[in-house]
Amino acid sequence: MPSDPIAPIWLVLPLALIALVVQAGYLIALKELPKGFMPPSRKRIRTASGWMSMFAIPLSAYGFGFATMDEPGMFAIIWIVVIGLISGILMLAGLDAVNTMRLHRKAKRQLTQDFRDALGIDGDRDEEHDGRSS
């Protein structure tokens, strides 16, 4: 008894094609950003994530629309690779979130320092400025 793929090819292929075009457009737009528009660390993380998505989309389309249990080894390999790529994309998303928090702290520190410089406040706290007296 032959088994069928998970989803029909007429549904999988157009969706995969649309996703690939959108992802390719995102990667092109990311590459064409003016220098200084996005921090380089964020750009590197998002570029890596985008390329991983470019590999995951056709592999998952193959897994949904073509792979069957008639070839269990190929079916398992395709889905293991897809799960690995999606896990990598999720890890990069977490790394991007941590990097964003790091960039926020750095920008906040810089703004605080700029504000102190503009007001002429010394960075060292002494008794006159911290409200305590001995």
What pLDDT shows up at residue 134? 47
Q: What are 20-72's pLDDT values in tens digits?
A: 999 999 999 999 999 889 999 999 999 999 999 999 999 999 999 999 999 99
pTM of the model: 0.80
CA distances to 4, 80, 82, 105 from 69, rounded to whole Å, are: 8, 14, 16, 51
Give percent of the chain above pLDDT 90. Answer: 81
- Residue linked to tokens 């060292």: 124
User: How confident is the prediction for the chain on average, in pLDDT?
Assistant: 90
Contacts of 81 (CB under 8 A, 6+ apart): 59
Predicted pLDDT at 122: 75
* Structure confidence by residue, pLDDT tens digits, 72-121: 999 999 999 999 999 999 999 999 999 999 999 999 999 999 999 899 88
Token output for 95: 């790394």
